[in-house]
Amino acid sequence: AASRRAKMAAAKERVVGAAPAGYTALAVKFGERQRSPHYLLVKEHQVREGAGTTHPPRRTLFVLNVPPYCSPDSLSRLFSRCGQVQSVDVCEKPGPREKKEKLTSKFFNRKTVTGFQVAYVVFRKPSGVQAAKALSQEGPLLISIESHPVKTGISKWIANYAASVVNREELKAEVDTYMQDYDKKIAEEEAKAAKEEGVPDEEGWVKVTRKGRKPGLPRTEAANLRVLEKEKQKRARKELLNFYAWQHRETKREHIAQLRKKFEEDKQRIALMRAQRKFRPY
């Protein structure tokens, strides 16, 4: 047992010593039964001056090597002992443009991130970042505990399936709200375009719109359905006419035969008119 503890301590020292420059390694475990710890790499998040970001400097902890089973709630609970956590943002990978649009939809544009991730933990006070880095001196932190268990296996699949079931009333309400906002936006743009139509700008240029003698086809759903229906009927007629390849060949052969027959008839008619001296080509 003593030799095993010594080997684990040596392995921990090697892993901690292998952390990149500027990072601190924090040991975590999924549960008490897990023997080998997993290491999170943390450091204070720093940004250039003037860079747009939703993660304030001096109060944000940048976390690498976040395992898939570690949710934002788990990270918030892990680092809550260091100070009050304001928010936790889990991303697929870090990037220069960290400022993201606010997701207002519950059913659309919901991207599920798989694999190891990165996280930004924002504290209320800057002291939380330093306290989080000091956790490396303590033992492994537990991600799944009895009071806050992390779902795995069949219980996780059942929860994911229950979350995937769409509430029709909520979906209808969200779609109706979106369409109302969209119609309002289009009406404002049309009113603005009508107000600016024919009015020159500062350089004397006049904006040309599609409202004129030939405004173009209306981009409505009914017009699109009519165009699609015409194309479908045209394609159906062509498919019925040339359903088989041999039918296509026979149709061409018959057409050529009719042309030759008409040519011979025209030759006989011209010869008869010449014989009767009624053929006057000029």
Q: Is the residue at 117 inside a domain?
A: yes
Neighbouring C-beta atoms of residue 39, cutoff 10 Å: 20
6 in any annotated domain: no
In a domain, 211, yes or no: no
Q: For tokens 């059942």, name the residue.
A: 158
Flag whether 95 is in a domain: yes
DSSP 8-state class, residue 151: P
Shared domain for 79 and 192, answered yes or no, is no
Range of 89's domain?
Answer: 24-162
How far out from the chain centre does Cα 65 lie?
A: 23
DSSP 81-135: GGS-EEEEEEESS--S---------SSSS-PPP-SSEEEEEEESSTHHHHHHHGG
The verdict on 157 and 188 lying in the same domain is no
- Mark whether 87 and 60 lie in a shared domain: yes
Looking at the structure, tell me whether residues 136 and 174 fall in a common domain. Answer: no
Domain count, the chain: 3
Shared domain for 93 and 57, answered yes or no, is yes
DSSP 166: P
Residue 150: both structure tokens together: 């992390």
Mean pLDDT by 10 residues, the chain (282 residues): 53 52 85 85 77 76 88 88 88 64 64 79 90 84 83 83 85 90 91 77 71 56 81 78 71 90 92 76 62
Asked, for residue 115, whether it belongs to a domain, the answer is yes
The two three-digit tokens of residue 166, written as one number:
């769409």
pLDDT of the residue at 181: 92
Q: Tell me, what's the pLDDT at 211?
A: 58
- Do 150 and 178 reside in the same domain of the chain? no
pLDDT of residue 233: 85
Query: Which of 140, 162, 184 is a domain's end point?
Result: 162
pTM of the predicted protein model: 0.53
Please report whether residue 221 resides in a domain: no
- Residue 8 lies inside a defined structural domain of this protein: no
Q: How far apart are CA 261 and CA 228, in angstroms?
A: 40
d(Cα 150, Cα 156) in Å, to the nearest integer? Answer: 9
Pair (34, 121) in one structural domain: yes
pLDDT at res. 258? 93
The answer to whether residues 143 and 248 belong to one domain is no
**Are 109 and 103 in contact, with CB atoms under 8 Å apart?**
yes
**Assigned token pair, 5:** 């503890």
Is residue 204 situated within a structural domain?
no
**DSSP symbol at 53:** -
46 and 156 share one domain: yes
- In a 3-state reduction of DSSP, which class is residue 157? helix
- The pLDDT of residue 180 is 92
Residue whose C-alpha is closest to residue 76's, from 63, 65, 58: 63
Query: Which helix (H) or strand (E) covers residue 32, if one does?
Result: none
